[in-house]
Every structure is written in C-alpha cells, then in structure tokens.
Amino acid sequence: MSRIEIRISERAPFAGGHAFEGAGPYERLKGRIHFGVSPFDPLYADIVDLDKAPRNAGGLVECAADVFILFPIDPAKGNRRLFFDYGNRGNKRCLQYFCDALGSNDPLTLEHAGNGFLFRRGYTLVWVAWQGDLLPGSGRMILKVPVASETNGPITGLVRTEFITSEPDCNCFPLSGFVSTHSYPTAFMDTRKAKLTRRRYATSEREGIAADAWAFARVERGAGIEVLGHEVAVVPSRQHIYLPTGFEPGWIYEIVYTARDPLVLGLGNAVVRDAVSFFRYGDKDDAGNENPLACRVDKAYAWGRSQTGRAIRDFVYRGYNAGTDGRKVFDGVMPHVSGCGLMWMNHRFARVVNPAGQQYEDHHNIADRFPFSYAQSTDHLTGKTDAILKRPQSDPLVIHTQSSTEYWQRRGSLVHTDTQGKDLEQPENVRCYLWASSQHLADPLLQKPTKAPCQNYLNVVATSMLFRAVLEAMDRWASEGAPPPPSRIPRRADGTLVSFEQWRERFPKIPGLMLPIAANRLPLLDYGPEADKGLISREPPKVVDAQGYTVQLPAPDEDGNDRGGVLAPMAAAPLGTYTGWNLRVRGVGHGAMYLFNGSYIPFPETPEERDATGDPRRSILKRYGHGEGYMRAIEAAARKLVAEGFMLEEDVARSVAAARNFGRPRHDVKL
C-alpha cells in the first residue's frame, strides 16, 4: 500500500512568456509531493530502517519532496518526452549542461534557458528531490524523510567524516563536513568516546589528536561592542566539531564517533520511482488532485552527473525502474561522470552528500563497489557474480558517458572491463563513451583558465555539444529503435587502454611537469559482517586487499592527450595537453591528485619557444599557422563529429565562433 499527493504552490509563466521556436511558451510549476508508504509493502521492503520509522494514523511512513516542472503550455507543441534531472546535491544542473545556461536553482528568466535547446525541442523538464540529508538554503531541492528509532530509544552507530581545508584559520566544521548537509548528532558529548585523527595523505598513518584538544561545539560570531570589535563564542553542539588550534591546511582530519537518529535515506529511490510513474501514467493523485502532466508523456529519460550519475546506476541496479504497477519508469538513462560507483544511500547513517573516494579525499568512501559494469561479470576477489542490468523486463536503455577524470580518480575503466581489467562487452541496450581529454566538471560558460590549489591550469575542454547529441541519440533509440553510434571507449584489445606504468612511459616528457605517481586504486574494503544489509559496524573499514581491482587509463598520444574516445572539437584540434588529472600544490597535499579536476598544459606558442624550453610537443604556430587555421581545424573536427552522430549541426557555428582569436578567453594562449 502506498499513497501520493501533489500540492502545487506556484504556477507562473517561464521566461516572461517567451515563445520558444517550435514549442511556444513554457509554464513553471513548483510544489511538494507527499508520500505515504507501508513498511509491510514488498515494493518498499529493501529500504533500511523503514520498519523503524514513525507511522501516521493510517500506518504509513510519510516523506515529502520538493517538485519543480517546466513544460510547454500547449501540449500539442511539446514532444511528449519527460526529461528528469536528478539534481546534484539538490541543485538543478541540466540547463547549464544542455542549454549552456546560467546556473540557477530557481530558473525563471530567458537567461536561464541559455540557447534554449531543451525548450526548442519541446521537453517537459522535471525535478523531484531525492536526497534526504540536505538542509534548506540556496534554493536546493529538499526531501524530508523520517528519523528511525527503536521502541526503547534512539538508534546509535558509528559515523566517519573527513575534514580538509585549504584555508587558514578554519577551526569549526559541521560533523557532516558540509554546511549544506544534515549532520548526525553525536550520542555522547564526551570526546573520549570519539576518535579524532589526522594524516598527511590518504594512506598515511593516522596521528591521534588528544580528546581534550577539541570539542563537540560550534563557533558563533557577532558584532560585539565598540572597544572589542567582533565577538566570538564557542557553544556546545552535538552536530559540530571545534578545534581551537585550527585545522591545518592540507591535512586530512578524520573523526569516528557514535551518532544517533539515522535518517531513512533509502526512501530516495522510491520517491523517484513513484513520482515519475505518477507523472507519466497517473490521472489523479490519492487526494483527487489532477496530475499536471496527465496525457502529456510518452517517453521518459533520466540524466544525472557525478553523484546523481551514481544515483541513476543504483536506481536501476536495485530494480526501481519497474514502477509499482510493473511498467517502466524511464525508457532511457544517461549517467554522466559517475565512474564505476553506485549510490549507497540505503544504509544506516548514510551520508549521501559524500564524494566518491578519490586518491586524496574520502579515499575509503563506500561508493565504488561491485558490480561496476552493466554487463555480468565475476568479482575475482570475492567470487560474486552480478551486473547492474539484470532485469530485462524493466531495464532501460543506457548511455553512459565519462570524462578522462573518471579513469584517473573514479576507476572508470571498470565500467567496461572485468575486475582484472579485461575488456567486457556490454549488453545491446548499453552505450559507453569516453569524452576524451576532458575533465569531470566542464563549465560551458568558463571565461578564463584558473588553477585552484593545483600545479596546472584546470582543464578547459568544452563538451556541452556532446550532451545535446547524446540526448538526440537516446530519443531516436527509444522512439524509433535507431541505435546510437557504437560505444567509443579505450580498450585493451587495441592498445588504447593501458596500465599506469604504460601511460607514464608514453606520456611526453614536458619540462617542469610533475606527473601523478599512480591512478586512484580501488582496494577491497570490509565495513563489517552486516554491511550488505546496510548496517556499518566498522569505521574506518578494514583494507582486505590494498591492490584491489585493476584500474586502467586511456593511452596518451604524442601530445599527452587521450586516445580511444570521442574528441570534442577543442580536444581534436588542441592548443595544449588536456588531462583528467591535476596535482595539488605544496602545503595542501603536495603531489596528490586534486578532487575531480584535470589539467590544461599549453603548447609552446612558437618554434622558438619550443626550442628554448625543450618541449617535445609541436608549437601552435607550426600546427595551425594563424588564428584562421585554428578555426578551420575546429570546424573540421566539428563536422566530423556531426557525421559520426556525436554533434548536432547547430553546434558547428558555436564551436567555430568560440575558436576565434585562438579560443580566447577560454584559453590563455597569447601570440
């Protein structure tokens, strides 16, 4: 038994009533969806701690999710396609990446429609909150879920959090590590019942910090009095950690403490399933309210990047793409830059906001675990056989895309190899594409190169044109049965997928450039005997096999750029070496790879500069001769992508225009 009720709080024209070519004006709808689910219903039986959540008078567990919809006012002008943006950490992202739009959590103006791609195509855009540990603020989509408890009191359990700062004078963090995210309160204010450590690198030995050197407390600041200036108070808090001497930049601090009051976060998958099924197939909700999208949807697609790419993979793996009535929820899904991870939010004291385990940050995060691939394979370390796709009746079409960064930091090769690194053929309903030489976050509106706390400029390759082509390919596939281009990924069979040692041997010897010491390995971890049931009993986890699973990389060409994937125009006609990795500077984890960022290492501008620096890469002038030559090379690369089905004709002119003046301001090339 379940119940759903939609309550609309706002209806208004979008973009001031602007009529988009082919689809006309759009309407904006905001509200909340209220759910009631029975802990005894088999459709919700896998949700950890659902049976321990409070119930209403009807015996149902309640939760409520924000909903936001943009749809053509005239149904006849829509394309009858629902596009579901999972929303990364509660933030709306698809308009940035598909429309090159200004990012906003409250899209309202024509500026928020960018180039209008999704609107001109007539898509109905839907966001529903699915992450239950977010706090209100900055327009985030919020899912309110219940707290689980025992009949005789609160539930307690171990929680582990890392804190890393690059800023001096930082002495207080929320226990979640993120201001935007709910912190599980400590069960004990006595710091002797918790453990705080720090270490220089992820695999370094932990140094203990004395219990009397820190506190569960927060810092409050006020205007103060005239003589003393700003006042500061330290206030006891069950949801904050305070270190009077400050967190030293570049160190990894880690707390393991006994928390209380776990949230029932596993409801997130059910919320997406039930909400999208209602919008797609429903007439009225259980309170008699009209479905605003009734009779408007023939096909539904889901897209998510990074965290939400993992959420999509988890959603499908757990069987949630079969609605409560057995019909498919999504015809196609498009996880982007998820790496090989799943979203393990369905466990007690889950921290859904957590990044997946990088080489330096959150290295022992639980996100990356078998099965890694859509195809069936056997884990050579545990003997288990499994696959993400294993329900032919409900499995969607899949277009999995990833950048070079996923191979370096997110073990992306395991998406299409077995656990020992051998090529693994994917099912017929799967396509995998490497967007070669690009990084995890490719800002379509990037104005100039930046460095962050990194040794090199951050990767500047633009890839938004590929998003648009992939969506068009998905729609043809789902609607007409016309398959997209074959998977384009690096493979061991043709020498484009290599070990780190092979990569390092082939990468050009660029003067003064520090290289990574390894790709981010994936060790086999043990979180305790009941971890498979969603109950973590060991923090930090036991490292069972430090070498773990085989992680491989795209082979570099003579310039250091990736082979074996789809080359966006900027990567096909490069002005530098574009990598999926970047290294931290001295003082903040020197030499370790930084977050999910890649590098842009400019070519020498002239033959004279190449000779003076000893750079083995050809100069820009030698490659293109002049600015017009570079623009012609970009246009040729773009037209090749159009012919191959990886780019739309409308994006050719955009790419050429962006290439004027040697790609300024996105590149810092000066001739």
Distance from C-alpha of 88 to C-alpha of 352, rounded to nearest angstrom: 11
DSSP code per residue over 204-266: SPPEEE-GGG-BSEEEEEE---TTT-SEEEEEE-TTEEE-TT-PPTT-EEEEEEEEE--B-TT
- What tokens does 82 get? 């629902």
pLDDT for residue 232 = 87
Cβ neighbour number for residue 647 with a 10 Å cutoff: 25
DSSP code per residue over 100-131: -PPP-SS--SGGGGTT-HHHHTTPEEEEE---
Determine phi and psi for 75, rounding to 5 degrees: -55, -30
pLDDT for residue 226 = 57
Length of the chain: 671
- What tokens does 453 get? 């706390």
Find the angle CA(336)-CA(340)-CA(345) to the nearest 5 degrees: 85
Q: How is the chain split into domains, by residue range?
A: 1-68+78-147+263-270+281-294, 156-260, 298-671
Burial state string for 615-643 with b = 16 or more CB within 10 A and e = fewer than 16: bebebbbebbeebeebbbbbbebbbebbe
**CA nearest to 455, candidates 298, 590, 572:** 590
Distance from C-alpha of 653 to C-alpha of 101, rounded to nearest angstrom: 17
One-letter identity of residue 446? L
Task: Provide the greatest CA pair distance for the chain.
Answer: 80
Coil, helix or strand at residue 450 = coil
pLDDT for residue 230 = 75
Query: Is the Cβ–Cβ distance between 534 and 347 less than 8 Å?
Result: yes
E runs forming strands in 326-452: 332-336, 377-378, 385-386, 397-403, 430-435
- Residue 426 — left, alpha, or beta (φ > 0 → left; ψ -120 to 50 → alpha)? beta
Name residues whose C-beta falls within 8 Å of residue 486's C-beta, 6 or more positions apart in sequence. Answer: 431
Residues of the chain with pLDDT under 70: 1, 224-229, 669-671
Q: Which residue has the tokens 């994937």?
A: 565
pLDDT for residue 671 = 44
CA 113 distance to own-chain centroid: 22
Distance from C-alpha of 265 to C-alpha of 48, rounded to nearest angstrom: 8
- What tokens does 594 get? 């930084």
pTM: 0.96
Name residues whose C-beta falls within 8 Å of residue 480's C-beta, 6 or more positions apart in sequence. Answer: none
- What tokens does 41 get? 């219903």
Query: Is the Cβ–Cβ distance between 424 and 386 less than 8 Å?
Result: no
Q: Beta strand 61-72 with 124-128: parallel, antiparallel or unpaired?
A: antiparallel
Coil, helix or strand at residue 511 = coil
Distance from C-alpha of 485 to C-alpha of 431, rounded to nearest angstrom: 8
Q: Of all helices (H) and strands (E), which one includes residue 518? A: none
Query: Is the Cβ–Cβ distance between 466 and 648 less than 8 Å?
Result: no
- What tokens does 355 get? 């990044």
pLDDT for residue 333 = 98
